[in-house]
Amino acid sequence: METVAFSAVERKELKKSATRRLRKEGMIPGIVYGYVGTIPIAVNAHDFRSKFHRISENTIINLKVGDKIYDVLIKDYQTNILKGTIEHLDFYALRSDKPVRTRIPLHLVGSSKGVREGGILEVQLHELEVECLPKDLQDQIQVDITHLESGHALHVKDLKVPAGIKVLSLPDQVVVSVVHARAEVAAKPAAEGAAPTPEGVVTPTQEGTKQTTASSKPSTEKK
């Protein structure tokens, strides 16, 4: 499991004016919460952006605040859509002896037998909801689809999950399946191949249609 490290400073001033000033100075305000209580902090925006692409919901971050180091997860962040910047960060402090609930991405490996034979692969679940100790967190869980045949599916209960991880997702939930390819048949014109009707001859269908139409018209004759 990859970890990412950041340094942060504890914020003393919590007014909006102080927060705006921090952003102008190239810092991102945030908080650390959990068993540590609530600690207002700020991290260097450039440093954070350079590593943000490596961080997922279950990436453990070693966050140094002063002379203390906390293992944290990013639980939330706020962005400025117009500026394309991160405005605020929420870090959740982990205890090494307390399980954490999170989601781990699923990664498909192999080439499905059903797809090789012309089937279509349908992925229905991209993440697995789990509970485990911080030390047991994984970057991803691999799903081997090599032997998945057309018309079959893999369910949550079929996955091979590393030891120490408790799966919270429903066991019968479909993860991935291979369906039969459906051939598209072009519809032929209705008149194609039909024998022409001689002029002046009314077919039974046409006759019934005419009768129905005539009977449905209101009578204009005066009584």
Q: How far apart are CA 25 and CA 87, in angstroms?
A: 13
pLDDT (tens digit per residue) in 57-69: 889 999 999 899 9
pLDDT (tens digit per residue) in 156-171: 999 999 999 999 999 9
> What is the predicted pLDDT for the residue at 33?
96
Q: Can you read off the two tokens belonging to residue 33?
A: 């919460």
**Amino acid sitting at position 132:** C
> What is the predicted pLDDT for the residue at 58?
86
pTM: 0.70
> What is the predicted pLDDT for the residue at 195?
52
pLDDT at residue 208 is higher than 90: no
Q: Can you read off the two tokens belonging to residue 16?
A: 């909006």
Comparing C-alpha atoms, which of 59, 72, 139, 133 is closest to residue 98? 133
Q: How far apart are CA 34 and CA 36, in angstroms?
A: 5
Burial code (b: 16+ CB inside 10 Å, e: under 16) for 193-222 equals: eeeeeeeeeeeeeeeeeeeeeeeeeeeeee
pLDDT (tens digit per residue) in 85-122: 899 999 999 999 999 999 999 999 999 999 999 999 99
pLDDT at residue 185 is higher than 50: no
- What is the chain's mean pLDDT, rounded? 84
Q: Can you read off the two tokens belonging to residue 213?
A: 């139409």
Comparing C-alpha atoms, which of 173, 149, 138 is closest to residue 159? 173
> What is the predicted pLDDT for the residue at 196?
52
Domains of the chain by start residue, with CATH: 3-93 (2.40.240.10), 100-179 (2.170.120.20)
Beta-carbon count within 10 A of 139 CB: 13
> What is the predicted pLDDT for the residue at 187?
42
Sign for the CA dihedral angle at 69, 72, 78, 82 comes to positive
pLDDT (tens digit per residue) in 123-158: 999 999 999 999 999 989 999 999 999 999 999 999
**Amino acid sitting at position 121:** L
Q: How far apart are CA 96 and CA 76, in angstroms?
A: 21
